[in-house]
Amino acid sequence: MLTPILATPDPYAAADEFVANGWTLAYATPKDSGDRMAVVELYGGQVMLGVDTEQFLPAAAREHRGAGVQFYVEVPADVIDAVHATHRDPGPIEPRAWGVRSFVVRLASYNFMVATAQGAATG
């Protein structure tokens, strides 16, 4: 399993943004802990939200946060329309040449492609 840790200014505010877009908060450390982190999930796809301190994301790189990266999250084909509806500002659902339907959304300054499971019907 591969789970990305995304550098954010405030992992709890970032988690709130994901939850407002239909994701589930799986876990969060206490806000006063020395390891501020939250974990969000969408149909089994998890993303860890950490801090953007100099150690994890140098100040000079912050305006390029997430550049060149897109996270691919699969959801069951029969729920993609409902998942799309829960996101606040998603792109349109589009068929892809490799046999999935997907949409793109930006959350916490990172790009996500939410798609039907590989090989799912493209109705």
- Residues 47-83: pLDDT tens digits? 999 998 778 877 888 888 777 899 999 999 999 999 9
How far apart are alpha carbons 35 and 29 in whole angstroms? 7
Global pTM?
0.88
The residue-averaged pLDDT of 89-105 equals 95
Task: Write out pLDDT tens, residues 11-41.
Answer: 999 999 999 999 999 999 999 988 999 999 9
CA angle 25, 92, 1 (to 5 degrees): 40
Structure token pair of residue 87: 């996101």
3-class secondary structure, 69:
coil
pLDDT at 93 over 70: yes
The residue-averaged pLDDT of 102-122 equals 85
Helix, strand, coil shares of the chain as percentages rounded to 5?
20, 35, 45
Cα diameter, the chain: 48
What phi, psi does 21 have (nearest 5°)? -105, 20
How far apart are alpha carbons 116 and 55 in whole angstroms? 36
